[in-house]
Amino acid sequence: MNKAAIKILEEWDPFNIGEDGYDTETADVVAALQGIDDPSKLAKVIQQVYEHSFLQWIPFEKCVEISYKLIAIKFEAKCIV
């Protein structure tokens, strides 16, 4: 699950700096994903993590989109096990 979530976050590239520019943020979001099942709560974490690192704001709607993808991966992994 973590590898799939990391891939989704790397491909997202919200600030167009390249897939390799978000290692710390990706790790923080994947760690948060472990304990969050609500897309809105995860979106808020995503927004805060990226805003803190880059001092740029991401619209909440974009964070919600990516959070739904991440939570879908999480629940898919739970169903496989």
Domains defined along the chain, listed by start: 3-79 (1.10.340.20)
Using alpha carbons, list the distances in angstroms from residue 4 to 55, 62, 69.
Answer: 27, 19, 10
Tell which residue, 38, 57, 37, 55, has the closest CA to residue 47: 57
The residue behind tokens 């974490």 is: 45
pLDDT along the chain (81 residues), means of 10: 90 90 95 96 98 95 97 80 49
Is the separation of the CB atoms in 73 and 52 below 8 Å? no
Instruction: Quote the pTM value.
Output: 0.89
Within 8 A by CB and 6+ apart from 8, the residues are: 66, 69, 70, 73
